[in-house]
Chain A
């Protein structure tokens, strides 16, 4: 049983790149729309996808949960979204930040950018910046779209409008490339967001997943759910030889032996592959033991 679990855990982390590619394709299956200059308009767009994927991407089959939340709270009819909050709680409990590590297209892009050879910098000393994403979630996604409203009670989607680089990458760039009408309408707002995108791209080459660590409001929500998620990481204390290989290999700056369900753990499984004694594995279920002898924290 234990062996089977380790084989599954190791396979998941080894094939993570392929799973990320498949998830990005499943989220964006309408590829011909890239050449038509329009977006998909089917009914599946009422359903959210778990990762950060702009619904203005021509190929997108579903809706972005962060954009949808702002659309609902910013509408004149509602001031809170039970639909999106329920969706996020459900996926957060079922998978936690496994979604960031395996299913988010923007996370995959940052992984690919970080593979570009060159100087790599550690984010270990920049840990306080990880709290910034909670402020982004609260202010730009929840509070401002609901509170700053016009005469008819409609608010702006502040995160999508001023911060999100995914809208420029997936929406503005491909659409403006083939649609002259959209191209001519782009102005200062686009320029500002393009600068953010360029900044994220450059930082992603230098640092591992800077957007996920410091800015992403979706990552912030799933981070809060990581400690209660059914999918977790388990460290067998009988097998652990405290060599520190798992901590050294973790690019999210997590020490899995002391905190297996840390908010920053994206369940990438690098620690599972690095462990020389197979002490680390994925586990799934209600109230599993994170450490075989009980949790340290």
Chain B
């Protein structure tokens, strides 16, 4: 991979990652994660 092409790709991915993360938080995904994570995950522990 050419160096400039790689740097461009890295920068684009970094920006895309940040944008997606912020977009997810703004549409309330972090709240969904929180509500799942603060309760015992029955599937994870093998209850069902």
Interface set of A (CB-CB < 8 Å, partner B)? 39-43, 45-48, 54-56, 60, 62-63, 67-68, 71-72, 75, 77-78, 81-90, 92-94, 156-157, 160-161, 164, 167-168, 171-172, 175-176, 182, 185-187, 189-194, 225, 227-228, 230, 286-287, 289, 295
Contacts and interface: CB of A to CB of B under 8 A. Distances in A.
A54 B41 contact: yes
A67 B20 contact: no
Given A43-B34, A55-B37, A228 B21 contact: no
A228 B5 CA distance: 11
Provide the main secondary structure of the chain A interface: helix
A190 B47 CA distance: 6
Contacts of B10: 93, 228, 230, 286-287
Contacts of B37: 45-46, 55, 60, 62-63, 67-68, 71
A269 B21 CA distance: 30
Contact of B44 (A92, A160, A186): A160
B46 A45 contact: no
B12 to A, nearest CB: 10
A87 B21 CA distance: 6
